[in-house]
Amino acid sequence: MRQVARLGVALALGLAAVPTVQAQFLENDEVPRERTIPEKQQIDDMLASSKLSLGPIRLLPSVSITNAGYDSNVFSTTPAVADWTATFVLGSTFLVPMGTKMYFLADVFPHYTWYDKLNDRNRWGGTFDGAILGFFNRASFQAKGLDRQDYTLYSSEFPSYVFESLLSGTANAEIDLTHHLSLFASGGYQEVRYTQYSGPPIQDFQVKLNNSNDTEVRGGVRYTINENWNVAGMVEQVWSDFQFVPGTRDNKSTAYLGSIFFSVPRLYLNVIAGYREGVATNGSTFPDYQTGVGSFFLSFYPLRWIELQGYGHRKVQYSIDVFEPYFFDNKVAFAANIELFDHVLVKGLIEDGPNTYPVPEPVSGGGSVARVDHVKNYGGGVSIKLPARIVLTGLVTRQVYTSNIPGDSRDYLRFTAFFNFTGTYSR
């Protein structure tokens, strides 16, 4: 049964129609895999681009079709189960200025996910959130609540789309001490639940191993050199209480992290790195760990029409293996985006790195080995701008998964195509 659950395919493909939140607070070690802009600039851009309003309420409606295509191995099993699928998203962002310093921001994006043959996977879901943001002369803050229900790619260990229900509340604040130096703090609570519809019953049990309630606090200091460059140091603590197997998974982790952020038009760099240690809580048998963690994203334009990207991470990821509550996910990647004729974007990528596990596993014939799964993803695709701000994207990726556990190696191909109606490429 363990071998069935480990067989998998592919890299996460698809364009989210609205912002998403990472399912595990531990993934705070991972920076966004894209260029980001400050929240105040995002608000200003929304105000400038909004064409519709209801009194003081600014509306930014959008529609998209995501993950539309053929999935050659929906459940990451052998034999494979293939199907056609698509997600239809229609909704709006609502922005309400509350004076000149504060704003109310909400996303209401219901969606429907359709499968051609696996009808039990057809689901209504969506992203529904609301936030109050304040931007003052020497301080800023945000308080946000989120309810999200959607299919999400589970992990590099088990790359199948699993239905996730996430409820969370977060808050953060930053206070300027001087022109260059500021203090920041954040905290949050979330409840995350997973369900594998239509798949082998063992998979539904295994993904539910990671149903958890998580609490996180973080605080630190930031030094802003100029508007394009800052460095920071921070301490973070996360408590995770699991619903099905608390006796093997309940834990607390503490991280000591540093970050560097640099952004100019041709060069963008976002790095976070440090040290994390995890210990068992509530009398569980969770194996303690002490390890380096971190991630980076680099974007460079040697020419206006060529973007080169580098990214990678080392993070602690919860496992679906009943013998291994977690593993260390290590990835380094390179990608390129080449724009042709102002309406065609050609892209390619390669990812490589091992997943390493803390507990030696028994193998047939006796004895045990320290499990190491080497994961390589590579592929490419094309995005085409069509009339009426429609962008069509098609991607093909291949995953080569090599494990030292007999029977766990695999090699699969996946194709995905999707539309968006924003007039911008998915990079």
Tell me the C-alpha distance between 370 and 357, whole Å: 7
Average pLDDT (154-159) is 89
Half-sphere exposure for 50 (CA within 13 Å, toward CB): 22
Tell me the C-alpha distance between 240 and 106, whole Å: 28
Find where tokens 């998964």 sit.
Answer: 401
Q: Is the dihedral of CA 304, 310, 316, 318 positive or negative?
A: positive
Q: What is the pLDDT of residues 54-94, one digit of tens each?
A: 999 999 998 888 888 888 889 988 888 999 999 999 999 99
pLDDT at 175 exceeding the cut of 70? yes
Tell me the C-alpha distance between 216 and 185, whole Å: 11
More confident residue, 412 or 300: 300
pLDDT at 119 exceeding the cut of 60? yes
Q: What per-residue confidence (pLDDT) applies to 78?
A: 80
Determine the longest span between alpha carbons in the chain, in angstroms. 73
pTM of the entire structure?
0.89
Tell me the C-alpha distance between 173 and 15, whole Å: 30
pLDDT at 182 exceeding the cut of 90? yes
DSSP β-bridge partners for residue 389: none
Q: Tokens in use for 415?
A: 């194709």
Tell me the C-alpha distance between 425 and 389, whole Å: 10
Percent of the chain with pLDDT over 70: 93
Per the rule left: phi > 0, alpha: psi between -120 and 50, beta: everything else, 247 is alpha
Q: What 3 state SS string does the chain have?
A: CHHHHHCCCCCCCCCCCCCCCCCCHHHHHCCCCCCCCCHHHHHHHHHHHCCEEECCEEEEEEEEEEEEEEECCCCCCCCCCCEEEEEEEEEEEEEEEECCCEEEEEEEEEEEEEECCCHHHCEEEEEEEEEEEEECCCEEEEEEEEEEEEEEECCCCCCCEEEEEEEEEEEEEEEECCCCEEEEEEEEEEEEEEECCCCCHHHHHHHHCCCEEEEEEEEEEEEEEECCEEEEEEEEEEEEEECCCHHHHCEEEEEEEEEEEEECCCEEEEEEEEEEEEEECCCCCCCCEEEEEEEEEEEEEEECCEEEEEEEEEEEEECCCCCCCEEEEEEEEEEEEEEECCCEEEEEEEEEEEEECCCCEECCCCCEECCEEEEEEEEEEEEEEECCCEEEEEEEEEEEEEECCCCCCEEEEEEEEEEECCCCCCC
Q: What per-residue confidence (pLDDT) applies to 76?
A: 85
If one counts every other C-beta atom within 10 angstroms of the C-beta of residue 43, the result is 16
Q: Is 163 within 8 Å of 197 (Cβ atoms)?
A: yes
Percent of the chain with pLDDT over 90: 73
Among the listed ranges 13-17, 98-102, 292-296, 392-396, which one has the minimum average pLDDT value? Answer: 13-17
Average pLDDT (121-136) is 97
Half-sphere exposure for 54 (CA within 13 Å, toward CB): 7
Q: Is 308 within 8 Å of 336 (Cβ atoms)?
A: yes
Q: What is the pLDDT of residues 262-276, one digit of tens each?
A: 999 999 999 999 999
Residues 6+ apart with CB under 8 A from 91: 17, 18, 61, 62, 107, 108, 109, 110, 111, 126, 127
Tell me the C-alpha distance between 178 and 185, whole Å: 17
| R_g of the chain computed on alpha carbons | 22
Q: Is 241 within 8 Å of 201 (Cβ atoms)?
A: no
The structural domains of the chain, ordered by start, are 2-420 (2.40.160)
Give the torsion through C-alpha atoms of 332, 337, 338, 343, to 10 deg.
170
